[in-house]
Structure 1
């Protein structure tokens, strides 16, 4: 059996647009107990350009969250 071909570049016509991602993120937030983890997972895929395996393996200690929270303005000037 032949292995599937892997795209070498992205097709902008297929990539999600910011408004579509915002709608997805709002829908994911309503999932209940898993909402925080799933929102973070999909956010990493879209906003950081991570692969699903990279996002799944990401741990809090891997993150440097310097800056301000987009939702509440809290200062993230520390390392988790």
Structure 2
């Protein structure tokens, strides 16, 4: 296929991605793009987990300091 392809058009749902080069180039670029996307997702998931953990600690601190119930704390958190 490398001898036949100079451009690869990939259809993915409603998106079209154009890769210049032969089929081997396409595979390398696609693999690199998928790795980059996975790294971005992993970073997002780690940040989300960190923020959720921090939010739980903040809610517990508010309850202990101000004597509020969990229901009151949830109401405060949801109104933000």
Higher helix share: 2
TM-score (norm 2): 0.32
The higher radius of gyration belongs to: 2
Higher strand share: 2
TM-score (norm 1): 0.32
